[in-house]
Each structure stands twice: as structure tokens, then as C-alpha cells.
Amino acid sequence: MLVLLNTYPLLVSEDMVFHSKVTTMQSNVSVMVYSLSGLDRLNEENVAAAMAVVEETGLSRILVTDAEGKVLYDTRETGSTVGKYVFFSEIVSALMGNDASSCVYRSGAFRSRASSPVLYQNRIIGAVYAYEYDTAQAALLEGLQVNLLKLSAVIGAVVLGLSLLLSMALTRKISRLLTAIRRVREGAYSHRARIGGHDEIAQIGQEFNSLTDRLQTTEDLRRRFVSDASHELKTPLAAIRLLTDSILQTDNIDPATTREFVADIGREAERLTRISEDLLRLTRLDSGVLDPATAVEVLPVLEQVMRMMSLVAQEKNVDLTYDAAEGCVVQATRDEIHQVIYNLVDNAVKYSAGGAVQVSLGTEGAWVALSVADNGPGIPEEDLSRIFERFYRVDKARSRAAGGTGLGLSIVSDTVRRRGGTVEAVNRPQGGAVFTARWPRMEGGAAL
């Protein structure tokens, strides 16, 4: 742009000057030719007389020659060529009957030349030649050039300054982002990138911050999960340790007590097995590796769980009933459906001792819905949103006494969600809780 600014206007003005020079020179020459017209032949006297009446033109030099090219009139005092022959190319071309003109710019001056033949009755009797040496226009043009250069320098400096400022602002933001990335990579998950503005870098910063938010949440969950899991595993291990110590350190322990202690040890070991099984199941669900799904009819699985749970229900004095429709087919595995029904019914029976549990299976449009309702204590509203979290128990003491670890519902929720379904828990107005699991319904091997 700057190169263009420094050349284009100059070239255009130079061209304009050339043009106007050539025209004025030609008209000047015509005036002189006019004043010589009417002479039948030219000589020094009649030319001098005719030129005397020509007005001052401001030309640097005027020559008039006869038909042979001998100079009859020369405005230059020193080095006058009167009486000599000159053969400037313009004069030669005028003597051959042509007008000639030219203009060049050299060493700070415009040099223009023009010539015309002088005719008498269509006969060439001489030539007029004019020359102008102009520095005033050239000075104007040079002034323009200097001004353009100054302007370019100012524009260049401003552009340079602005780009420096801009790139500094940009690098500052990027380095802030880099620092934040490094801090978070080193484990400072609470660190956030503070980048102002609304440009792309600021947006990257915001995206990075929300990514870090998620990372922090995941990291918190992971820490809590590990600490909860080790706590849950520690409790039965401590009990086993205590029981074995008691057996070993008590002298003359009677066989009945030993049996009782060993049975307790067995129960704790069983609990450990169940917790590790649950943890393994959750890890598998987390890894996203699923067993291949097939179309599973839910009713037979429900009946199997009911047969198994009816004994437990009897023991707890719970009235366990179900109503179910056929043709509820979902895309999953039998084991998954079993897990879900078992965990929901197990909870309902466990937490509503002495009450009634009603299981129902049916279709709801494009869904297969399984709901388990009880008339137990229900779930406090503030805990409703959290009971699907891992190791979350409403009443820790009571549910641990009931043998719970708080993993059942998270297994249910993860299992159902992995197959595109949903799980919800609500309290019934008349007391008790209802858990409903929904899977996308299949018919003829395809989802509805």
C-alpha cells in the first residue's frame, strides 16, 4: 500500500504535466508560425521583425530556421547559433513537414520541445523550434513526493505500533492460557484461566475453564469413590480381624461360640464378596464395554426374581405382589434386567418391613416401564436427587444394618442408562416410594 501511495500519484501527476506541457508548447509554436505566415521567404530581418511582435511566452529558447536548416533567429544571447545549421531532430522533422513535440523529466526539471514547419503556398520555407526548461513544476512534484514520503512514514509507524500492541495483547492472553493449562496438568484442578474480552482466545479460555470444572468434578467423584470404597471394604475386614483375634486369644473357648464367630466371619466375607462384585460391575459399566444386547422378554426374568424374593419377603413380613403384561421386550441382556429388578425389589422389601410391595410391568408408548412401589418410610425430598450416587445412603446406620452399601441404585441407574433408558424415584402421597425404570421398547427386533 505504501509503495503504491508513493508511486501512483506521482506517475499520474507527471503524466498530467507532460500532457499540458506538450499542448502549451504546440500552441506557442503555432502562434509563432502564425506571425511568420504571409512571408514568401524567410531571412534574418523579416523573421526578427515578425518575432518582435510575438508576446513574451516564457520559453527558454526559440529558433527559427530557413528551409535548409540555417538558423535565422535565436533567442539565446550567448552561444547564439544564428547563421549556423542546426539539426535537432524536431527541426529535421518540421522541415519534412511534420509537427513534433516531446517532454521529458530529468535532473529536477521538465524539458519540453516542440517544432512546426512554416509554409508559404504549401511550400516549406522554414521551421520554428521552441524549448522550455521548467523547474517550478518539477519543484511542486518533488514537494508532493516528499509529503507522500512523510505521510508514508507516519502511516508505517502507526501500523507498526498498532500491530505490536495487538500482538503483545494476543501473546499475553495466550501465555496466560498456557500457564493455566500447565497448572491444571500438574494437578491444580481449582486453577482457572482469567482472560477478558470476547475474542476467540477468551472463548478458548472459557471452554478450558468449563473443561477444568468437569475435570475437577470427576476428580472429586473419583476421590470420594476411592475413599468410600476403601471405607466399605475396611469395615468387614476389621470385623473379621476382631472375630479371629477373639477366637485365637480366648482360652478354652467353647465350640458353640467358635461356631457363632466363624459364622459371623463367613457373613462378613460374603459382604466383602458382594461389595467387590458390585464395584467390578460398576467399573465395567464405567468402561463402556457392554455385553452384546439381545431382545429380552422381561416377564420371565421378573417371575424368576419374584420367586427368589418371595422367601425374603415372607421372612420380613412383607406382602410382595406383581402384575405384569406380556410382550415387554427390550434390547439388553438377561443379567442386566435381573440386576435392575432384583435391586429395586430388594430395596423395597428391605426398607418397608411389615408393609406391602407392588411391582408392575407394562408398556408406555415407546417405552417398557417397570415400577416398584412400597409403603415404607419413603425418601426425604432433599435426598431424592442423590440416592443414585455411589455409596449414597439416606440413613447410613439403618441401611448398613440392613446390609446395604449404597451401590445398588447406582448400578441400576448406570445399567438402564447404558441401554438408552431412564430411572426415576418419587415419593407417593400416601407414603412410601416408587422407583420406575424405563427402556426403549422393541417389537419385531426393532426399536419402536
Which residue is it, cell 442386566?
Answer: 336
Residue 183 φ then ψ, to 5°: -60, -45
CB 417 within 8 A of CB 423: yes
Give the DSSP letter of residue 70: B
Which of 24, 101, 347, 410 touches Mg ion by CB under 5 A? 347
CB closer to ligand ATP out of 149 and 353: 353
Which of 387, 416, 423, 437 touches ligand ATP by CB under 6 A? 387
Q: Which amino acid is at 139?
A: A
369-408 residues in contact with Mg ion (CB under 5 A) are 408
At what angle are helices 255-287 and 408-418 packed, to 10 degrees? 30
CB half-sphere exposure, 427, CA atoms < 13 A = 14
List Cβ neighbours of 418 (8 Å cut-off, separation of 6 or more). 285, 288, 290
List Cβ neighbours of 439 (8 Å cut-off, separation of 6 or more). 330, 331, 332, 367, 368, 416, 419, 420, 421
Site for ligand ATP contains 394 (CB under 6 A): yes
- Residue 355: contacted member of Mg ion, ligand ATP, none (CB under 5 to 8 Å, by partner type): none
Site for ligand ATP contains 285 (CB under 6 A): no
Site for ligand ATP contains 205 (CB under 6 A): no
- Residue 265: contacted member of ligand ATP, Mg ion, none (CB under 5 to 8 Å, by partner type): none
| CA 229 to each of CA 117, 201, 285: distance values in angstroms, whole numbers, following the listed order | 116, 41, 16
- Residue 376: contacted member of Mg ion, ligand ATP, none (CB under 5 to 8 Å, by partner type): ligand ATP
| CA 135 to each of CA 116, 302, 406: distance values in angstroms, whole numbers, following the listed order | 25, 110, 101
Neighbour tally for 189: CB within 10 Å: 17
CB 394 within 8 A of CB 381: no
260-319 residues in contact with Mg ion (CB under 5 A) are none
Neighbour tally for 335: CB within 10 Å: 13
CB closer to ligand ATP out of 110 and 351: 351
Min. distance of Cβ 332 from ligand ATP in angstroms? 19
Which of 32, 100, 348, 370 touches ligand ATP by CB under 6 A? 348
Size of the site for ligand ATP (CB under 6 A): 21
Q: What is the DSSP string of 307-347?
A: HHHHHHHHHTT-EEEEEE-S--EEEE-HHHHHHHHHHHHHH
For 1-10, b/e burial (b = at least 16 CB within 10 A) is eeeeeeeeee
Min. distance of Cβ 186 from Mg ion in angstroms? 40
| CA 240 to each of CA 230, 234, 267, 271: distance values in angstroms, whole numbers, following the listed order | 15, 10, 9, 11
Q: Per-residue string for binding with ligand ATP, 413-442, x by CB under 6 A? A: --------------------x---------
Site for ligand ATP contains 236 (CB under 6 A): no
Q: Candidates 126-134, 205-213, 279-287, 401-409: pick the segment binding ligand ATP (CB under 6 A).
A: 401-409
Min. distance of Cβ 390 from Mg ion in angstroms? 12
Neighbour tally for 29: CB within 10 Å: 26
CB closer to ligand ATP out of 191 and 267: 267
Q: Candidates 93-101, 137-145, 310-318, 372-380: pick the segment binding ligand ATP (CB under 6 A).
A: 372-380
Strands 367-374 vs 329-332: parallel, antiparallel or unpaired? unpaired
CB closer to ligand ATP out of 390 and 438: 390
Min. distance of Cβ 444 from ligand ATP in angstroms? 35
Site for ligand ATP contains 301 (CB under 6 A): no
Which of 351, 361, 368, 375 touches ligand ATP by CB under 6 A? 351
Site for ligand ATP contains 408 (CB under 6 A): yes
- Residue 117: contacted member of ligand ATP, Mg ion, none (CB under 5 to 8 Å, by partner type): none
Site for ligand ATP contains 279 (CB under 6 A): no
Q: Contact residues for Mg ion (CB under 5 A)?
A: 347, 408
Q: Contact residues for ligand ATP (CB under 6 A)?
A: 343, 347-348, 351, 374, 376-377, 379, 387, 392-395, 399, 404-409, 433
